[in-house]
C-alpha cells in the first residue's frame, strides 16, 4: 500500500484521494445557475426582478453562516461525519434541481445547496490541516487549491456545453459531490481511521511561535487573524472585478462576446496552476513571494484597464490569476498558525474562508458606490481603481514584509 508522508507519520493513498476529492465541490455553487440568468424571462415568464436577485444572492449569503457553523462544530465533533453530512445535503440539492419547475422551487433548492456547501468548504482545508504539518501541509494545501480551481475550470466548460439542451441539464454538475461522498464512506467502511486525525497537534516551527497573554482571545491570536482576514479580503476584492465587470469592458471595446469566456477561463486556469507548484514558487521567490503576487495582480489590473486587444486581455487575466493563485493556499496555511489550540484550526480556516465570500459579495457595491461618488461611467474604471489600490497594497507589503501576514516560513524556502 502506497503511503504519503505527512510530517508526523504517513497516510494511505485512498485516504489522501478521499480528502483531495472534497475540494472538487467547494467552488461550484452558482455555477449551473449562471448560464440561465439571461433566459429566465423565457423559462419563467412571470419571474420578478426580486426573485432573480434572490436566486443569485441568497445561496451565497447562506454559505457564510454555514461555513462558520461548520468550523464551530469541528471543535467537538467528528470532522469526517460533518463533511459527509454536508456532501449528502449538497448531493440531495443537486438531485432536487431536476424536479424544480418554478422560481420559488429553484430558490429553495439553491438555499439547500448553499447550506450543504457551507458545511463542506472549511473542512476541505481543515482535514488537510489536521493531517499534515510544516512543508507537507503547505504542499497539500497548494494541491487542494489547485484541485478546487481546476474543477471550476472544467465545470465551467461543462456547464456551457450542457446549457445547449434542456435548461435542467447544467445542474448535472451538482452531482459531483457523489464522488467524495463515496470515497469518504469507502474509507470509513474499509476500516481506515487515518482520515480521522488528532486536531490537537500544534503547528510547528517559525510561524507557530505563538504569543501568550493579551494577544490571545478564545484560543485565537487576534493580531494574526486580523492581518490574514484583511489580506484575503483585499486580494479577493481586487480580482473579483474580473467576474463582475469584464463582460461590460469587452462589450464597450467591441471585442466580441466570445472573448469574455476565454479570458475568464484563463483567469481561473492561472489561479489553479500555482497550487501544484507552490513549494517551488516559494523557494524561487523566497521572502518576496507576497510582493511578487501583489505585483502580478497589479500588473494584470493595469493591463486589463488599458488593453484593447484579446491577447493582452488574456495576458492580464493570467497575471491576475497567478497572483491570486499564490496568495490563496499561502493564506490557508497561515490560518493554521492563528490559533493556540489545534482544535480550533478548522474554525480559523472557516473564519478566513467566510471573508472570501463576503468580499465577493460586497465588491460590486464598493465599486458602484465609488463610480457614483466620482460620477464615472466608464467600464475601465473598476480596473483602474483596483490597480491603484493594489499598488498601495504592494507598498504595504514591502514595508511590512517581515510581518506574519506577508512573510514566508524558512522551512518553505
**What string of DSSP letters covers 216-256?**
EETTEEHHHHHHHHHHHHHHHHHHHHHHHHHHHHHHHTT--
pLDDT tens-place string over residues 197-252: 444 444 443 454 455 555 888 889 999 999 999 999 999 999 999 888 887 787 77
For residues 253 and 192, membership in a common domain is answered with no
Contact indicator for 154, 272 with CB cutoff of 8 Å: no
Q: Tell which phi-psi region holds residue 12, choosing left (phi > 0), alpha (psi between -120 and 50) or beta.
A: beta
pTM: 0.84
Of 199, 224, 251, the one marking the end of a domain is 199
Residue written as cell 469587452? Answer: 250
pLDDT tens-place string over residues 335-366: 999 998 888 899 999 999 999 889 988 888 89
pLDDT at 391: 98
Of 172, 199, 226, the one marking the end of a domain is 199
Q: Are strands 220-221 and 216-217 parallel, antiparallel or unpaired?
A: antiparallel
Higher-scoring residue by pLDDT: 1, 57:
57
For residues 136 and 254, membership in a common domain is answered with no
For residues 48 and 146, membership in a common domain is answered with yes
For residues 270 and 318, membership in a common domain is answered with yes
Domain count, the chain: 2
For residues 189 and 329, membership in a common domain is answered with no
For residues 43 and 159, membership in a common domain is answered with yes
Average pLDDT for 136-145? 89
Polymer length in residues for the chain: 413
CATH assignment of the domain containing 289:
1.20.1250.20
pLDDT tens-place string over residues 152-169: 888 877 877 777 778 888
Of 133, 167, 199, the one marking the end of a domain is 199
Residue 212: which of 199, 203, 222, 226 has the closest Cα? 222
For residues 194 and 218, membership in a common domain is answered with no
For residues 227 and 246, membership in a common domain is answered with yes
For residues 288 and 392, membership in a common domain is answered with yes
For residues 192 and 209, membership in a common domain is answered with no
Asked whether the predicted pLDDT for residue 381 surpasses 70, the reply is yes
For the chain, what is the mean pLDDT?
86
Asked whether the predicted pLDDT for residue 257 surpasses 70, the reply is no
For residues 168 and 219, membership in a common domain is answered with no
**Domain span at 346:** 202-413
pLDDT at 349: 93
For residues 186 and 246, membership in a common domain is answered with no
Rg (C-alpha) for the chain, rounded Å, is 21
Amino acid at each position: 500500500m502506497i503511503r504519503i508522508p505527512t510530517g508526523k507519520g504517513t497516510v494511505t493513498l485512498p485516504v489522501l484521494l478521499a480528502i483531495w476529492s472534497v475540494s472538487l465541490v467547494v467552488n461550484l455553487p452558482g455555477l449551473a445557475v449562471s448560464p440561465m440568468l439571461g433566459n429566465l424571462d423565457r423559462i419563467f415568464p412571470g419571474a420578478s426582478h426580486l426573485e432573480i436577485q434572490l436566486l443569485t444572492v441568497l445561496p451565497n449569503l447562506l454559505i457564510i453562516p454555514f461555513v462558520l457553523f461548520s468550523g464551530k462544530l469541528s471543535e467537538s465533533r467528528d470532522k469526517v461525519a460533518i463533511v459527509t453530512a454536508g456532501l449528502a445535503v449538497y448531493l440531495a440539492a443537486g438531485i432536487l434541481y431536476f424536479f424544480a419547475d418554478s422560481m420559488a422551487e429553484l430558490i429553495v433548492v439553491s438555499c439547500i445547496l448553499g447550506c450543504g456547501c457551507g458545511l463542506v468548504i472549511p473542512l476541505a482545508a481543515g482535514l488537510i490541516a489536521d493531517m499534515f504539518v510544516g512543508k507537507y501541509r503547505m504542499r497539500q494545501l497548494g494541491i487542494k487549491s489547485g484541485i478546487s480551481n481546476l474543477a471550476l475550470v472544467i465545470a465551467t466548460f461543462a456547464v456551457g456545453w450542457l446549457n445547449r439542451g434542456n435548461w435542467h441539464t447544467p445542474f448535472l454538475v451538482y452531482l459531483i459531490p457523489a464522488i467524495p461522498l463515496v470515497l469518504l464512506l469507502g474509507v470509513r467502511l474499509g476500516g481506515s481511521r487515518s482520515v480521522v486525525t488528532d486536531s490537537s497537534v500544534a503547528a510547528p516551527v517559525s510561524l507557530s511561535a505563538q504569543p501568550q497573554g493579551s494577544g490571545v482571545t478564545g484560543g485565537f491570536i487576534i493580531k494574526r487573524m486580523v492581518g490574514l482576514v484583511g489580506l484575503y479580503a483585499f486580494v479577493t476584492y481586487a480580482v473579483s472585478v474580473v467576474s463582475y465587470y469584464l463582460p461590460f469592458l469587452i462589450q464597450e471595446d467591441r471585442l466580441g462576446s466570445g472573448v469574455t469566456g476565454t479570458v475568464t477561463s484563463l483567469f481561473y486556469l492561472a489561479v489553479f496552476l500555482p497550487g501544484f507548484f507552490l513549494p517551488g514558487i516559494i523557494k524561487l521567490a523566497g521572502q518576496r513571494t507576497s510582493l511578487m503576487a501583489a505585483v502580478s495582480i497589479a500588473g494584470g489590473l493595469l493591463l486589463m484597464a488599458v488593453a484593447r486587444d484579446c491577447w493582452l486581455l488574456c495576458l492580464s487575466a493570467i497575471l491576475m490569476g497567478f497572483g491570486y493563485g499564490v496568495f490563496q493556499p499561502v493564506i490557508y496555511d497561515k490560518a493554521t498558525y492563528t490559533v493556540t489550540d489545534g482544535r480550533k484550526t478548522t474554525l480559523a480556516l472557516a473564519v478566513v474562508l467566510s471573508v472570501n465570500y463576503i468580499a465577493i459579495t460586497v465588491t460590486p457595491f464598493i465599486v458602484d458606490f465609488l463610480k457614483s461618488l466620482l460620477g464615472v461611467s466608464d467600464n475601465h474604471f473598476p480596473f483602474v481603481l483596483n490597480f491603484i489600490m493594489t499598488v498601495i497594497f504592494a507598498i504595504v507589503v514591502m514595508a511590512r514584509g517581515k510581518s506574519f501576514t506577508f512573510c514566508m516560513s524558512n522551512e518553505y524556502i
